[in-house]
Structure 1
Amino acid sequence: MSTAHAVAAAVSFTWLGMVIAISFIEAPLKFRAPGVSLQIGLGIGRLVFRALNTVEAVLAVVLLILLVADPPSPTAIAAVCVVVVVLAAQLLVVRPRLTRRSDLVLAGSAAPHEADQPTRRSRVHYSYVGLELVKIAALVISGAAVLAGA
């Protein structure tokens, strides 16, 4: 295994751990902590996800550079491409919509179609979670494929 492949596997699995830890452990738990209101939780979430997405963008660039420097298997390349496309969709399409919704909630109102349930998760939130699940699968596949040389 080349150094580039070892680094690519490490980056994939590090990124995987970050997504699981933040999206599926930290994010839901912060709203259960004593004294954390919806507004405080949303404010914390925005900061945490902005930081996560920044690190993810850096990791995506690193993976792409490694792919060009020492191309791994077609499986690994395809999985990394899926990860990068999913991240781009989250950053360019889903996150702006979630930000608009959280702006409304933080301002004390909700979107007109959700005025009766302002704290209910929106469909956009579920699409973000769905994309996170796709990203997790693709990161597992990319890391494993690079390690296996498949």
Structure 2
Amino acid sequence: MTRVAIAVPVLALVWAGVTIGGSLIAAPAKFAAPSLDLRMALEVGHEQFFWIWIAERVLCAVLIGALVFRPPAARWWLAAPILVFALQQLFVVPLLDARTVRIITGETVPDSRLHLVFAVLEFVKVAALVAAGIVALRTGSSPPSGRAS
């Protein structure tokens, strides 16, 4: 495998790991800590996600850069997680961020399903990243045409 060929699955799987560790394990875990009230847990989460999203943006950008060197058919597998991430960042995250800031500052806000929507998108993104990583590993050693030599 070339360096670029190995970069795509590595980046996809590292990105999946960042999401699993930060969003799907650490984020819910802080709400189980009895000494953290909701406002404090949200404040910690606000900072946590700030740094997770920096890592995700970097991984996404590098992955997009690496895809330039891959055959067009190999790029489609990564379209799904990149599009989910874009959807999250452009639409869901700004709404969640505004809601979180309102709660942190002491405002009472109505119930919302935004966190559920975000969590579902996280699971979809992770599944797509793992699938793309596996497919890239399996096809990474084939020539650019996609045919075995």
Alignment TM class, shorter chain as reference: 0.7 to 0.9
Structure 2 stretches of 5 or more lacking a match?
Answer: 140-145
How far apart, CA to CA, are the structure 2 residues paired with 1:73 and 1:9?
16
**1:47 Cα deviation (Å)?**
0.7
In structure 2, what is the equivalent of residue 61 of structure 1? 61
Equivalent position amino acid for 1:146 in 2:
A
Query: Of the candidates 95, 98, 108, which is equivalent to residue 97 of structure 1?
Result: 95
TM-score (norm 1): 0.86
Q: CA RMSD in A?
A: 1.6
TM-score (norm 2): 0.87
Pairs within 5 Å for 1:107-122: 107-111=105-109, 114=110, 122=112
Please list the CA deviations of residues 83-138 of structure 1 after superposition, one character each: whole Å capped at 9, or x if unmatched.
11111111111111001111221122233xx2xxxxx5x21111111110110111
1:129 aligns to 2:127 (yes or no): no
**1:19 Cα deviation (Å)?**
0.6
1:86 aligns to 2:84 (yes or no): yes
**SS, match of residue 34 in structure 1:** coil
1:11 aligns to 2:11 (yes or no): yes
1:23 aligns to 2:3 (yes or no): no
In structure 2, what is the equivalent of residue 147 of structure 1? 137
Pairs within 5 Å for 1:28-43: 28-43=28-43
In structure 2, what is the equivalent of residue 49 of structure 1? 49
Please list the CA deviations of residues 59-90 of structure 1 after superposition, one character each: whole Å capped at 9, or x if unmatched.
11111111102x1572x412211111111111
Asked if the contact 1:5/1:72 (under 8 Å) is kept, the reply is no
Identity %: 34
Q: How many residue pairs align between the two structures?
A: 140
**SS, match of residue 64 in structure 2:** helix
Asked if the contact 1:77/1:142 (under 8 Å) is kept, the reply is no
